[in-house]
Chain A
Amino acid sequence: MASTLINVPPKAKRGDIIEIKTLTSHIMETGFRRTAAGELIPRDIITSFTCRYNGNEIFRADFFPAISANPYLSFFTIAKESGKFEFEWIGDNGFSTTASASIAVE
């Protein structure tokens, strides 16, 4: 389980636009680098990220090797109701990790 850092405001007013920030530890090996011996290092990246807000998908991203190691993302959503954000990262070699955060909307 990779470690993740999530930043979601703990509470918001209904209708507010809130920023969600995520950080995941991952090498994001491009598959284009070589060792000093000249061997190609196989690709190992996160390929997809999804964020669900009370079960509805609100943000999805496809990653490519051009995304830096330990991928950082920031995106926005409208605070509609109290509930839970669920985050999921999927990658090469069966990589999968999840995280969640809750929000209180007044």
Chain B
Amino acid sequence: MPKLNTTRRDFLGLAGGAAVAGAVPIVTLRPIEATPAMLTSAIRNVVGEAQVKAGKVKIDIPPLVENGNTVPMTVSVTSPMTETDYVKSIHVFNEKNPQPNIGNFYIGPWAGRAQVATRIRLADSQKVVAIARMSDDSFWSVSAEVIVTLAACTEEVN
């Protein structure tokens, strides 16, 4: 966040100066966008100090979406789903929405299949990250890049 504030201050200073010069109209500024640092800290909140390994998790999401307001997404995890080896939870994050979290899903060996589907919002073309917590408390992740042509979340309403 400090970086964001600096940018905003710089920008406002600049815009103010320009307005004094009578050149540029004042534009509304919305400094709301999750930074990769926020993504990292959101992931840390879930996994703690544990190491996150790549693999086992799969995200099914369209690589190019027209409307960021409803993007179908399916996350599945390769797991035998037995009493001793199963998926405890699935966590989904994004990189550039105003908030880095998308959803947390808690399952167990009774699920039979470690798969969750929902519809999500994406404010911009960005990376979506899914992390699975296994019964042995190991973490596995995968990420997917999505290109969004109409953004969600921050548009004006009338």
Contact = CB atoms under 8 A, between A and B. Distances in A.
A33 B117 contact: no
A76 B28 contact: no
A38 B70 contact: no
A74 B113 CA distance: 11
A75 B105 CA distance: 9
Interface residues of B, number: 39
B78 interface: no
A80 B110 contact: yes
A65 B154 CA distance: 11
B158 A61 contact: no
B80 interface: no
A72 B120 CA distance: 9
A25 interface: no
A67 B112 contact: no
13 contacts: A30-B98, A34-B156, A35-B157, A60-B106, A65-B98, A65-B121, A65-B153, A66-B94, A66-B103, A67-B102, A73-B118, A74-B74, A76-B111
Interface of B: 28, 30, 32, 69-71, 74, 94, 97-99, 101-108, 110-122, 152-158
